[in-house]
Structure 1
Amino acid sequence: MSQINAIYNANVYIDGNNLLGKAAEFKLPEMEIGQDEFKGLGLAGTIKLPNGVEALEGEITWNSFFPEVAKRASHPFKSVQLMVRANYQTFDARGLAQEVPLVTFVTVMFSKNALGGYKPKEKAEFSSTYQATEIRQMLDGREVLYFNAFTNTYRVDGQDVLSQMRKNIGA
């Protein structure tokens, strides 16, 4: 039977504090793998080989100014723990078949905070850009993705894809 997955809502937390309804949008970082071109004599084509994970950057748009967010986001040398909890739904021909949590934890340091833009008769929004050093994504309690830039740990579906590299370099 064919299934369709959908996410229509989520909630944001900062250092464990519930920010229900305070974020208009939460952009998680894109996991971008750096690529290095390899050209060699005798090869007709060019090959791109993975060389590491690029810097992870995301953004949050806030519905208004929230002092509890601003005091955490304004400190450039202190990391905070963000969490996004989403409602992951699966539909099939009979309708809604399953709902499970999709939870993403992100350890970040904020790098840019908009102080606001004001227009007549329009609600002000504030955005915060962050740099992530650690990401863990869990679907229904199972780890789907984990990356930590400081420890050279990268797991996909529980499998450590950098274990041999760390062993080879003595880390």
Structure 2
Amino acid sequence: MALPRTLRMFNVFVDGVSFVDQALELKLPKIAMKTEEYTGAGMLGPVKLLKAIEALEIEHTYNGPIKEIVAGFGAEKHDASLLRFMGSYSEEGSGTDQAVEITVRGRHNEFDQGDAKAGENGNWKVKSDLTYYKQTVNGEVWLEIDVVHKIFIVMGVDRLAAHRKNIGL
């Protein structure tokens, strides 16, 4: 019997610096294809045509401002900051664990400093716009997206290889 996987522990690294015990929460990137409905003459209904990938972003929350993250705020380079999530999931039905690593590159473009209340831990939220995303599960790359370098690999299949070849790349 399979039971739901539970995130037991996680760590966040920003530009190689570990924030174990300081990172409170991550809103991992939503991965979605941008599509457009098309209904041609004589078609019974619409077909969703692939156009691109939706914009990628990640939100990460800490209990107060962090110097290393503020240092990358509004950087000129689109991939100035490297953020890595490492999670350990368990499935109690089988007693197995699963290592999930998500590596992203982008820049920190929004800080939500939350409310300041004496005697309470804060919620300092950072939103980072991304141009690179890679998801690895138990050492196997499941998904890799590099918007600038035209890389889109899903479960080992390079979905843009023919298109790069067609334009001489």
TM-score after normalising by structure 1: 0.88
- Residues in 1 aligned to 2:64 and 2:21: alpha-carbon distance in whole angstroms: 10
**In 2, Cα distance between equivalents of 1:170 and 1:138:** 29
Query: 1 CA distance for matches of 2:81 and 2:2?
Result: 37
- Alpha-carbon displacement from aligned partner over 1:22-45 (angstroms, at most 9, x marks no partner): 111111211110001111111121
Cα displacement (A) at 1:64? 1.6
Partner of 1:138: 136
| 1:12 corresponds to 2:17 | no
CA-to-aligned-CA distance 1:53-111 (integer Å, 9 cap, x gap): 11111211111222233223x2432411100000022332xx51x22321110111111
**Alpha-carbon offset, residue 125 of structure 1:** 1.5
Count of aligned residue pairs for this structure pair: 166
> What secondary structure, in the 3-state scheme, does the structure 2 residue paired with 1:109 have?
strand
C-alpha distance in 2 between matches for 1:116 and 1:46: 44
- Cα pair distance change 1:104/1:37, threshold 3 Å: same
- Counterpart CA distance in 2 for 1:161 and 1:54 is 16
Measure the CA separation in 2 of the matches of 1:77 and 1:135. 19
| Structure 2 unaligned residues grouped into runs of 5+ | none
2:147 pairs, out of 127, 146, 149, with: 149
- CA RMSD in angstroms, aligned pairs only: 1.7
Structure 1 counterpart of 2:104: 106
- 1:53 partnered with 2:53: yes
Q: Percent identity of the aligned residues?
A: 26
Contact residue 113 and residue 123 of structure 2 kept, 8 A: no
Aligned residue type for 1:80: S
TM-score (normalizing by structure 2): 0.89
| Letter of the 1:131 counterpart | D
Deviates more, 1:4-13 or 1:80-89: 4-13
Return 5+ residue gaps in structure 1 as ranges.
none
Amino acid at match of 2:76: F
What residue identity is the alignment partner of 1:34?
K
Matched with 1:25 is: 25
Structure 1 residues 63 and 49, CA gap change in structure 2 (3 angstroms): same
Please say if residues 24 and 63 of structure 2, whose CA atoms lie closer than 8 Å, have aligned partners that are also in contact: yes
Q: Deviations over 1:124-157 (max 9, x none)?
A: 2211111111111111111111110011111111
Match of 2:89 in 1: 88
Distance in 1, Cα, partners of 2:108 & 2:69? 11
